[in-house]
Amino acid sequence: MMMIDSSKTRLPSGFIRLGEALPVDVYHKSGILLLKKGHYVLSPEQRALLASAGESERSEVDALLEQERERRELAERQNLRNRIAEARQPNPLTEYEFLLRRSEGLLLHGLALPDLLAGLQAVAAGVQELAQRQPDGLIAAMLLVPGREQVTAHALRVAVLLALAGKRMQLAASELEALCGAGLTMNIAITPLLVRLGGQLDTLTEPEREAILAHPIVSSAILREAGLSDELWHLLVQTHHEVADGSGYPQGLQGDDVPALARLIALADVLDEQISVLRVLPAQALAALFRKPDARFDPAQVSLLVKELGIYPPGSFVRLASGEIAVVTFRTERANAPRVAALRKENGPPYAEPLLRETRQSAWRIIDAVPAGLALVKPGFLLRLWQR
């Protein structure tokens, strides 16, 4: 009677692959070695013989099966991580930084770039898409992510404000594209000049002064040369410095001859200048626009923009009743009680992690707005707060 060798077992056919080396020695049931480990399976007939009559050391087969199980589990975990990563939306601060870099190159180099129009349209579309998908993160990015060039960063922030306002106004897609694009490109003719001047406009030469006065028309001409055929976009670029009382330029238009959307561009232009150049706190800049009407601006547009951004916009910093400095993360239905994350005690070091606070509770209610410098943290530390 033949004794069964319990130390051996059949090698699963999945480990016998045509054109590949065997992972273990394979024996006939009689004990004769059929093929040593490392030898290649060269034909379908050889593979069939090894699969039907071959046996290997049970311990080696068990080790192979364990390795295969671990490989499958690792692959499943990686697939799960990949699916989660695909489902998670990109971080708006990171996306905004990309748009900053892209717009900087486009606005500085203009017609020297063969794909100028396509690039500008892509940036404008990216801003609109973010305004639809993650508006709170986009507002935060506008306030937190610095640009290398103030002039080009200002243009992108204006485009952001217009995308947010246009969304609230429920503009048609074509109008929203023209509005956002005009805000981005209104100064394209003088971007290099403004960068060179570094904001010093009080000692302009006569040619520089003439260039600035003519830039709405020249900017439109540059866009037409680049291939832009959107007449509303052109009109808004040409009229963004016109004022209803006739004091604007370059045409001195009056009353209803100044397009309403051009006035909205002027409003966004001034608001961003207040916040980013003059360093007025966002809450104070919005309150000033709302409480002290400016004849240049439509009160309804001011009110709309204030409502869209909120009293304390995401990305701005506040002091809580707890004595903590916090960053606003998301707007809520209550304008004076947004969602916030505490960053530090006012006279203490930053926390290891931002701590979420409920500002509707009296212990964490917002006392007032504060400068970003009080937070003692960099934007990278705050990145995860807007990761969906």
Q: What is the pLDDT of residues 209-267, one digit of tens each?
A: 999 999 999 999 999 999 999 999 999 999 999 999 999 999 999 999 999 999 999 99
Q: Are 177 and 125 in contact (CB under 8 A)?
A: yes
Q: Residue 17's pLDDT is what? A: 85
The stretch 65-89 carries a mean pLDDT of 70
Which DSSP category does 353 fall into? E
Residues of the chain with pLDDT > 90: what percent? 64
Structure confidence by residue, pLDDT tens digits, 44-64: 888 888 888 788 888 888 888
The model's confidence at residue 194, banded by pLDDT at 50, 70 and 90, is very high
What mean pLDDT comes out for the span 301-323? 94
Sequence-ordered list of residues with C-beta below 8 angstroms from that of 170, at least 6 positions apart, any chain: none
pLDDT at position 1 is 41
Q: Summarize the chain as % helix, strand, coil (round to 5).
A: 55, 10, 30
When pLDDT is averaged across residues 316-334 and rounded to a whole number, the result is 96
Segment among 8-17, 218-227, 334-343 with least mean pLDDT:
8-17
pLDDT at 290: 78
Regarding beta strands 366-370 and 350-357, do their DSSP bridges make them parallel or antiparallel, or are they unpaired? Answer: unpaired
Mean pLDDT for the stretch of residues 94-109: 96
Which pLDDT band, with edges at 50, 70 and 90, does 127 fall under? very high
Alpha-carbon distance 263 to 284, whole Å? 21
Q: What is the pLDDT of residue 7?
A: 82
Q: Is the pLDDT of residue 314 over 80?
A: yes
Assigned fold of 92-309:
Hypothetical protein af1432 (1.10.3210)
Q: In whole numbers, what is the pLDDT of the chain averaged over residues?
A: 90
Confidence of residue 89 (pLDDT cuts 50, 70, 90): low
**pLDDT value for 209:** 94
Query: Which two three-digit tokens encode residue 8?
Result: 């051996």
Domain boundary assignment for the chain:
8-87, 92-309, 317-386
> What is the structure's pLDDT at 41?
82
Q: Quick check: helix, strand or coil at residue 206?
A: helix
Q: Which pLDDT belongs to residue 86?
A: 47
Q: What is the pTM of this model?
A: 0.77
Which residue type does 304 have? L
First to last CA, the chain: 69
Mean pLDDT of 317-341: 96
Q: How far apart are CA 221 and CA 23, in angstroms?
A: 71
- Which of the four pLDDT bands, split at 50, 70 and 90, describes residue 88? low
Q: For residue 133, what pLDDT band results from cuts at 50, 70 and 90?
A: very high
User: How far, in Å, are 8, 33, 74, 221, 272 from residue 62 at the CA level?
Assistant: 10, 19, 18, 75, 68
